[in-house]
Amino acid sequence: MNQQTPQSRRVGLFVTCLVDLFRPSIGFASVKLLEDAGYTVDVPMAQTCCGQPAYNSGDREDTIAIARKTIETFEDYDYIVAPSGSCAGMLKKHYPALFKDGDWAERAKAFSAKVYELTSFLTDVAGVDHVDVVHPGSVTYHDSCSGLRELGIREQPRKLLRSVGGLEIKEMPESDVCCGFGGTFCVKYPDISNRIVEDKTDSIRQSGAKTLLAGDLGCLMNMAGKLQRQGSDVEVRHVAEVLAGMCDTPAIGRRKD
């Protein structure tokens, strides 16, 4: 299946700042999935954030400084994998655009070629087509915007989810519509963000699924926060937790009773 030598199987995990700070379980689930697929996973301590808050606020100088640090930290790995379409999109699609030419442009390009979002890495690079876990019940999957439109991630997580024992996918209407998170957008324009996430939670309810999954913690926190404010009992998790069979931690926004 995979013709690579062990030397070309070193993955640097880009944890993402939200996973680091809010939900380490997603990081550990990612490590497990990558290790199960036969990769050696390393987590360089010198990583912080991909720089999107600065980039999307128009602060190019800080973005470039952060991008250089990230590239330096990760460029020696064979692959750089992130459990987020948004951060992976930043690293893969936007870093190269930050450097016009010269040495850094070359480095950013070489770096970017090795960056993947977790589920697409598993299916498209590692050739994983099933996972050996059970998760009884129905789930619905939200396609986060950057993953979907910048990286073309749609089938990959669903393909893996279909191999999970006892799991049924119930699609929501308009799963490809934004949840209203948008990074700093949701705090700069809270009222608009709220309307958008209300529409999203309506769609989630319409699916009738017990669990909501997605590949981006920012979106998940937004949707979980709204569902819980509305009193919904839909459980919210990152897709990696289900795929790795690591759902013993309480769902997002929940705590053990």
Partner 1 sequence: MEIRSPAFKENARAALDDPQLRHALEHVKSGFIVKRAMAAEALPEFEKLRDSSKAIKDETLANLDKYLEAYETKVTESGGHVHWAESAADARDIILKICQSVGARTVTKGKSMISEEIELNDFLEGNGVQPVETDLGEYIIQLRGEHPSHIIAPAVHLARSQVEADFRRVHTHLPVDRDLTEPVTLLSEARKVLRAKYFQADVGITGANFLVAETGTSVIVTNEGNGDLTQILPKVHIVLASIEKIVPTLSDLSQVLRVLARSATGQDMSVYTTLSTGPRRAGDPDGPEQYHVVLLDNGRSSMIGTEFQEMLRCIRCGACMNHCPVYHAVGGHTYGWVYPGPMGSVLTPSLIGVDKAGHLPNASTFCGRCEAVCPVRIPLPKMMRHWREREFSRRLNPATQRYGLKAWAFFARRPRLYRLATSIGIPVLSLFGGRGRFKSLPLAGGWTRHRDMPAPEGRTFMQEWKQREAQKQGARI
The least distance separating partner 1 from the CB of residue 135, rounded to whole angstroms, comes to: 20
Shortest gap between Cβ of 214 and partner 1 (angstroms)? 13
Site residues, partner 1 (CB under 8 A): 15, 17, 19-25, 27-28, 43, 45-49, 51, 53-60, 62, 65-66, 69, 73, 145-146, 149-150, 176-178, 180-183, 185-197, 199, 221-222, 224-226, 228-229, 249-250, 252-255
Which of left, alpha, beta for 7 (phi over 0: left; psi -120 to 50: alpha)?
A: alpha
Cβ proximity to partner 1: between 149 and 210 the closer is 149
End-to-end CA gap in the chain: 44
Query: Is the CB of 167 or the CB of 200 nearer to partner 1?
Result: 200
Gyration radius of the chain over CA positions: 18
Q: What is the DSSP string of 192-247?
A: HHHHHHHHHHHHHHHHT-SEEEES-HHHHHHHHHHHHHTT---EEEEHHHHHTT--
* Beta carbon of residue 207, minimum distance to partner 1 (angstroms, whole number): 18
Residue among 152 and 166 whose Cβ is closer to partner 1: 152
Q: Residue 29 or 128: which CB sits closer to partner 1?
A: 29
**What is the smallest separation between the CB atom of 163 and partner 1, expressed in angstroms?**
26
Count the neighbouring beta carbons within 10 Å of the beta carbon of residue 193. Answer: 20
